Structure 1
């Protein structure tokens, strides 16, 4: 990436993200079984306009912290949309439990149940074919979100969309946070050799977002003038408990030589912190830990200085954008005001978060 392009993306990510007020309601599906949220709207709108719409959602894993928080926001914004428009918004939410075949069946069921639009958080980003074929056959638009499918698949039909962010931007910002910390805090260079020794907790084996986040994080540190040495890595599948186990294994292998933990998301960063808390190390002896997502618990860890920073993935903005897109598609509305890129994409910027500005991103804070 050229310097100008890199700076452009960095500036995009540094935009101040508006923190929306959020209520505490959420529609949750357990064990792949449907839980239906039916919200009754008022009697407004034109005589020939729809009085209600039905949105189907399938998430890859209900226990993913970022996804569950985004779904809570989505339901909150749907309630507000009802109040604004007088149109009842019915939301059916399914948990795919990390099974692509289960998710395919869920989409088929949503079509049978008469959903106007389907939102899919793909289990396998490389295998959306069954979902796309079902949707096209029945002329039901699909909004993919958070786990981006291959561009060629999104181009297969005109009524396919994606809402999310650019994975490489989060990697760049994570690398910037790490580099700035190392260059300004000599205590992080525990052995005094001028090299940042690190380990990586990766999301999924072969997952594009995990690969891109790691590559850009490391390359950005190097581009910032930090010499680095990779000690080891482990696949923790975006999961806090797995990350704790993997981090404990890395610590047994490398001991206090670890100076930095790069985690592809906050849940895995928190798992690393759990392992550090269970170790014999004092907090002053901990390596630097950096995550990505800016989940509520991740932000709390930044505030408590257990993580030196995280990269905020705008779940509120993504939930709001997906709700507005789903509403317009369901009601035959105008998409021109939704800032679609290439008629297909809605992308929200990331932002760097440290203890200096974490309060502005935490729940309940407003501009």
Structure 2
């Protein structure tokens, strides 16, 4: 009887082991089948305007990293990049086209950050996940679905750094900056565009940081220049005609507008230029910091943002977990840190962009 029990027990063990192996084999076969079936993915990319220098640089990096991802993973990645040329209606149509073509993931730089509903509704109806970037949509929209995320940077940080650059310059030589010797910093502000989150927050925080450091400021002018160098040149030329040498500080929400202000100054008869600060840290801005034409800028890490966008879009398209390198804030936001650039460290960033 004992011998029979031992044989029965051994038989049951073998049967259980074979069953377990069979289940594991089926699971593996299923995974292999899925892997073999998915040979390529399609990612639709929408930007608000192809003429924005920072956005175009960011998208060039996205394209470069997508090609690297192809080589690393062996999956073909179709990246379809469309510009809305400043029209939210056009962008909604582009999203609808991506949905009709059954794209696997979407990456969207909104035209109007307050009007994301059309984009979200179209993508959600087709169960296509979205990575928003560059233009932070309102929080209520971001919470509407568990398959939408945002990649960008903390705008308050950039404003604080701009303010700190001005404070440090004043600490070194306030008497030189304060041209009219009244103890007050007369300034003008070039803003990106109406309603843009980064423009609003940078504007507020840059001024607040300088004031919190104990300096008194007087606003001479504040104009929208839509992130555009030519528009900034026009605005600055008007201020030069009106205020002349009284302008002591120029705050610009990005480097293109800072360089536009510089262009206007070079065409003027101003003998002592005001100090100028920007944001982005792209090649032209860095060269002007190196020449001491801009007092400084803030590096908006397009490479870090592009990597996050590509890694997240790929994972969403493949229905995989996000890489551990993706660090979320409130499970929705990925903020890539800004970095302050002045003459003292600008060469490091010039070398970085040359790599």
TM-score (norm 1): 0.85
Structure 1: how far apart are the matches of 2:149 and 2:262?
Answer: 37
* Partner in structure 1 of residue 278 of structure 2: 291
Deviation at 1:82, TM superposition (A): 1.1
Q: What is the rounded CA distance, in whole Å, between the counterparts of 2:34 and 2:111 in structure 1? A: 38
**2:305 corresponds to which residue?**
318
Partner of 1:195: 184
What pairs with 1:134-149 in structure 2 (closer than 5 Å)? 134-149=122-137
Q: CA RMSD in A?
A: 1.5
Q: Distance in 2 between matches of 1:160 and 1:48?
A: 24
- The structure with more radius of gyration: 2
- Residue of structure 1 in register with 2:83 after alignment: 95
Equivalent residue in structure 2 for 1:59, among 37, 41, 47: 47
The one-character-per-residue Cα deviations of 1:90-118 (angstroms, maximum 9, x if unpaired) are: 10000100000000001111111221101
How far apart, CA to CA, are the structure 2 residues paired with 1:341 and 1:90? Answer: 29
Q: Deviations over 1:139-188 (max 9, x none)?
A: 00011101000001000011110000111111111001011112212311
| Shift of residue 206, structure 1, vs aligned partner | 3.3
* Secondary structure, aligned partner of 2:234: helix
Structure 2 partner of 1:3: none
* Aligned match for 1:212, one of 201, 208, 212: 201
Q: 1:78 aligns with which of 66, 72, 87?
A: 66
Once residues 110 and 329 of structure 1 are traced to their aligned partners in structure 2, the CA distance between those partners, rounded to angstroms, is: 16
Q: TM-score, normalised by structure 2?
A: 0.88
Q: Is the 8 A contact 1:359 1:365 kept in 2?
A: no
Q: Distance in 1 between matches of 2:32 and 2:177?
A: 63
Question: CA separation in 1, counterparts of 2:197 and 2:328?
Answer: 23
CA distance in 2: counterparts of 1:208 and 1:333, whole angstroms: 31
Structure ranking higher in helix proportion:
2
Judge conservation of contact 2:244–2:270 (CA < 8 Å) in 1. Answer: no
Unaligned runs of 5+ in 2: 1-30
Query: Structure 1 residues 110, 365: closer, same or farther in 2, change over 3 A?
Result: closer
Partner of 1:48: 34
**What displacement does 1:232 show?**
1.1
Q: How does 1:101-120 map to 2 (within 5 A)?
A: 101-120=89-108
Q: Answer yes or no: is 1:333 the counterpart of 2:312.
A: no
Number of residue equivalences: 321
Deviation at 1:340, TM superposition (A): 2.3
